[in-house]
Amino acid sequence: MKITAPISRVEEIALLSEAGADEFYCSVVPESWSAAFKTSAVSRRAFGNLPSFDDLEKAVIEAHRLDKQLHLVMNSQHYTGEQLNCLLELAQFFDKINGDAVIVGDETLLALLGSHQFNFSIHVSSIASCRNSEAANFHQALGADRIIFPRDMKLSEMESMVAANPGLEHEAFMLNDGCVYEEGSCH
């Protein structure tokens, strides 16, 4: 079992590592994104963005120094074509700095990233509502390496998917933020 924790500052990595975290996730909003789209919605965690590409690179270096992984979140439910091009550039930068995985919620972005020869893994966000083994097979065919279960799935449902999809990693939340909306129907 691995513990995965969110960060919004590079300094949190060492503290959370000492507390037992094995993997970290965050997002970053490229200046080109904000200028072009007038939004910070690269991911669903508006408060979980590192302020710059420099900080993202520092976060990867710090995580690796501690023998941990850093995952980049790009998990809005959908993106425009222009946004996908910007995210591809972000993914290329993340690959160049040896990031470990991206977390995606949009199947079009998943397919786009899966069609490239990146060195990072691709994780399907809980927001994609991957709830059964056929959906897991679909996401794996697009390039996914890990499925993050929707937060409201029962353990028996998770066990069934794990058994049916041994070629995928799986991740489950232990702490829910208390939101009443189901992941894929987020409002």
Tens digits of residue pLDDT in 82-105: 899 989 999 999 999 999 999 999
Question: Which of 100, 64, 104 lies closest to 88, judged by CA?
Answer: 104
When pLDDT is cut at 50, 70 and 90, the band that residue 184 belongs to is: low
Strand partners, 72: 26, 102
Indicate if the pLDDT at residue 47 is higher than 80: no
The pLDDT assigned to 1 comes to 76
pTM of the model: 0.90
When pLDDT is cut at 50, 70 and 90, the band that residue 186 belongs to is: low
When pLDDT is cut at 50, 70 and 90, the band that residue 49 belongs to is: confident
Tens digits of residue pLDDT in 73-83: 998 888 888 89
Q: What angle do CA 150, 103, 178 make, to 5 degrees?
A: 35
